[in-house]
Amino acid sequence: MPQITHTDYYSHILGMSLQVEVTGHFGYPIIMFPTSQGSYTQNADFHLNGSISHFTDNGILKLFNVQTIDKFSFYDKGISPYERIRNYEMYVQFLVQEFIPYIQRTHNTHRVAVAGASFGGYHAANIAFRFPDLVSHLFCLSGAFNIRNFMDGYQDQLIYFNCPDEFVKNDEAWKYKHMHIVLSTSDRDICLEPTRKMAGILTEKGINHWYDEQKWIDHDWELWRMVFPKFIGRFFG
Domains of the chain and CATH, by start:
69-236 (3.40.50.1820)
pLDDT at residue 195, as a whole number:
98
Report yes or no: 109 and 135 within 8 Å, Cβ to Cβ. Answer: no
Between CA 101 and CA 104 the distance in angstroms is 5
pLDDT at residue 2, as a whole number:
73
| Of residues 75, 69, 49, 70, the one with CA closest to residue 61 | 49
Phi/psi at 11 (5° precision)? -105, 120
Angle between helices 81-94 and 119-130 (to 10 degrees): 70
User: E-assigned strands of the chain?
Assistant: 4-11, 16-23, 28-33, 61-66, 112-117, 135-141, 180-188, 210-218
pLDDT at residue 18, as a whole number:
98
| Of residues 177, 97, 102, 96, the one with CA closest to residue 136 | 177
Query: How far lies 150's CA from each of 16, 48, 63, 130, 153, in Å?
Result: 24, 27, 29, 19, 8
Query: What is the residue-level pLDDT of the chain in tens, covering all 237 positions?
Result: 779 999 999 999 999 999 999 999 999 999 999 999 999 999 999 999 999 999 999 999 999 999 999 999 999 999 999 999 999 999 999 999 999 999 999 999 999 999 999 999 999 999 999 999 999 999 999 999 999 999 999 999 999 999 999 999 999 999 999 999 999 999 999 999 999 999 999 999 999 999 999 999 999 999 999 999 999 999 999
The answer for residues whose C-beta is within 8 angstroms of residue 36's C-beta and 6 or more apart is: 70, 75, 118, 119
The answer for residues whose C-beta is within 8 angstroms of residue 50's C-beta and 6 or more apart is: 44
What is the identity of the amino acid at 140? Answer: C
What is the identity of the amino acid at 216? Answer: W
Q: Is the entire prediction scored with pTM above 0.95?
A: yes
